[in-house]
Amino acid sequence: MQASEVEKPRIVILISGTGSNMVAIAEALQKEESDSGIDAEIVGVISNRPTATGLEKAQAMGLHTDIIDHTLYASRDEFDHALIRMIEDLNPDVVVLAGFMRILTADFTRYYEGRLLNIHPSLLPKYQGLNTHQRALDAGDDIHGVTVHFVTEELDGGPNAIQAIVPILDVDNAQNLQQRVHAQEHIIYPIAVKWFCEGRLTMKGNEALLDNKVLPATGIQLQS
């Protein structure tokens, strides 16, 4: 097989809403020859919400889309097992959670261990869960940010790959802080996906490695 015939890494992206991070990753694929580009293929975009506007964006970019409505399943386990079957039909190398607003079961996270990425709007391990921007303001923090991490059974607790640090300004409220953090999401998520697709970013035990070197607990940190 010639090099040009080697199959590209296959990405499945899970969304629940606007899909802005999905778009950022898809756009990075379109410029694969540049330093920031990703040489891979998005083989599917799956939403648990039929009305998610990200589905229309994915379709406009020529991407395959599927819907799996979580309200039609009697339990979280039943939904997750059906989701696994849908994902496996697409034969992915990596599954990317991009605003997928479901808490995944241990069975699901174990099945995709080491090839499941998520983005969370805080400098993990700080502020796991919701309302991260207001919590950072209430705590009087000087900095806030966003983290891409591997997913494990612990909610927002897997090893960190990369963080973007966002300074908190005196004039900030939760809304404008969220907007600045959101802009950084679109920068660091494609970077992490690129590293993974190149075989540079891996997970071993409960540690993230880049180029076979264990990353610090924060992952790589970028200043915004």
pLDDT digits (tens, 9 = 90+) for 198-218: 999 999 999 999 999 999 999
Using the predicted structure, report yes or no on whether residue 60 has a pLDDT greater than 90: yes
3-state SS string for 128-182: CCCCHHHHHHHCCCCEEEEEEEECCCCCCCCCEEEEEEEECCCCCCHHHHHHHHH
pLDDT digits (tens, 9 = 90+) for 61-93: 999 999 999 999 999 999 999 999 999 999 999
Using the predicted structure, report yes or no on whether residue 36 has a pLDDT greater than 50: yes
Catalytic-labelled residue, pool 120, 133, 149, 186:
120
Sign for the pseudo-dihedral over CA of 160, 163, 168, 172: negative
Which domains does the chain carry? 6-112 (3.40.50.170), 120-224 (3.40.50.170)
Using the predicted structure, report yes or no on whether residue 131 has a pLDDT greater than 60: yes
Pairing state between β 207-210 and 213-214: antiparallel
Using the predicted structure, report yes or no on whether residue 139 has a pLDDT greater than 70: yes
Using the predicted structure, report yes or no on whether residue 35 has a pLDDT greater than 90: no
To the nearest 10°, the Cα dihedral for 12, 18, 23, 24?
A: -110
CA atoms within 13 A on the CB side of 100: 28
Say what the pLDDT of residue 33 is: 55
Using the predicted structure, report yes or no on whether residue 3 has a pLDDT greater than 50: no
64 is catalytic: no
Mean per-residue pLDDT over the chain, rounded? 95
Burial class of residue 53, CB neighbours in 10 A (0-12, 13-18, 19+) = middle
